[in-house]
Amino acid sequence: MKIILNGKSKKVNSNQKVIDLIGLLKIDSKFIAVAVNGEFVSKKNYSKIFLNDGDVVEVVSPHPGG
Amino acid sequence: MQIYNIKLKNNIILGSSKYPSPNIFLKCVKNIKTEMITVALRKIGDKPEKFYKTLAKTNCKILPNTAGCFNVKEAVNTALMCRDIFETDFIKLEVIENEKNLAPSVKGTIKASETLIKLGFKVLPYATDDLKFAKRLVEVGCKVVMPWGSPIGTGQGLVNIKKLKLIRKSLPDTTLIIDAGIGRVSHACQVIELGYDGILLNSAVALSKNPPKFAESIYNGVNSTIESIKAGPISVSKKAIASTSSKGIPFRK
């Protein structure tokens, strides 16, 4: 299936959870936060939320800001 | 200054953007003696942990922002993501309405403040110099309000002093911080002279020719102003009053 990850189309296996996507990206979840279809997903829910075809996923990290 | 349940010794909150390098940013943090730094969230790049580690070196409290949000839903979800990473309830709330002058949305900022406070956030909303707007933010539970001096990044200073004075007078128990528009040391001093609690600035320091030197100058200016207020300045008079005695002037009877 295809998801939109940070604005770009990405192929992922079906039945993937948010935690699987984080693993795929090889990033430490400490430094990131996630939203699926515009809704925040807390770290404790990464292993509970399944991704669906067409989901829009945002993965963000700290960035300089004013 | 009082920021909800914490008291900062320093009156300056520093933004972390636009510095020539991470090292220069860290020097500015040291020179301006800030205890609180604003940060943002953006889509992950190659090394998401890099900036996080720079922040850890500052030993400052983190004030995440919702910069770039144009509606309540975006702002609330961004705030939730900030809390998930930084493990802080503090949020610098920005809900922008006008892309050209980056003015905040009155309705959006009030609604998002209300929602976030119910979710346990300590909201520091970016506002204009409009008294009604500031009052509504206090009514929905904001203990801190941050009116602009002038639009973000313009360095114009305090363009509407009368309106800012009115907010200070009308909200004596609210922590008031000028967020945006500071360009010079004199602007920061003016903020303190108006009786405001603090200043939030970024571009003025980061984009100056010598950011560490400018940061030091801001700190010195703000603290000299605080000390001078403690020393009790003279009252303003409409009439000229000669400094030198009028007795014994030569060539006079």
A2-60 CATH pick, 3.30.43.10, 3.30.460.80, 3.20.20.100, 3.10.20.30: 3.10.20.30
pLDDT at B155 over 80: yes
Query: Can you give the pLDDT at residue B50?
Result: 86
> Among residues 204-223 of chain B, which lie with CB inside 8 Å of chain A?
none
Q: Are A64 and B18 within 8 A, CB to CB?
A: yes
Percentage of chain B surpassing pLDDT 90? 92
CA–centroid distance for B75 within its chain? 19
* Dist. CA B52–CA B56, nearest whole Å: 6
Which residues of chain A lie closer than 8 angstroms to B80, CB-CB?
Answer: 33, 40, 42
Query: Can you give the pLDDT at residue B48?
Result: 79
Q: What is the mean pLDDT of residues B6-22?
A: 96
ipTM for the whole complex: 0.94
List, for residues B169-220, the tens digit of each pLDDT value.
999 999 999 999 999 999 999 999 999 999 999 999 999 999 999 999 999 9
Mean of the per-residue pLDDT values of chain A? 94
| CATH topology classification for B2-231 | TIM Barrel (3.20.20)
Q: Are B40 and A65 within 8 A, CB to CB?
A: yes
Q: Are B65 and A65 within 8 A, CB to CB?
A: yes
A17 touches chain B (CB under 8 A): no
Among the partner residues B25, B52, B203, nearest to A62 by beta-carbon distance? B52
Residue of B nearest to A5 (CA): B43
Residue of B nearest to A40 (CA): B77
Query: Can you give the pLDDT at residue B195?
Result: 97
Query: Can you give the pLDDT at residue B197?
Result: 97
Query: Can you give the pLDDT at residue B123?
Result: 98
* This prediction's pTM: 0.92
Query: Can you give the pLDDT at residue B101?
Result: 85
Give the number of other Cβ atoms within 10 Å of residue B143's Cβ: 17
Q: What is the mean pLDDT of residues A11-39?
A: 93
Query: Can you give the pLDDT at residue A56?
Result: 97
* Dist. CA B32–CA B29, nearest whole Å: 5
* Dist. CA B28–CA B19, nearest whole Å: 9
Confidence band, pLDDT 50/70/90 cuts, at residue B46: confident
Query: Can you give the pLDDT at residue B228?
Result: 96
Mean of the per-residue pLDDT values of chain B? 95
Chain A / chain B CB contacts < 8 angstroms: 100
Q: Are B41 and A61 within 8 A, CB to CB?
A: yes
* Dist. CA B37–CA B185, nearest whole Å: 19
Q: Where do the domains of chain B lie?
A: 2-231
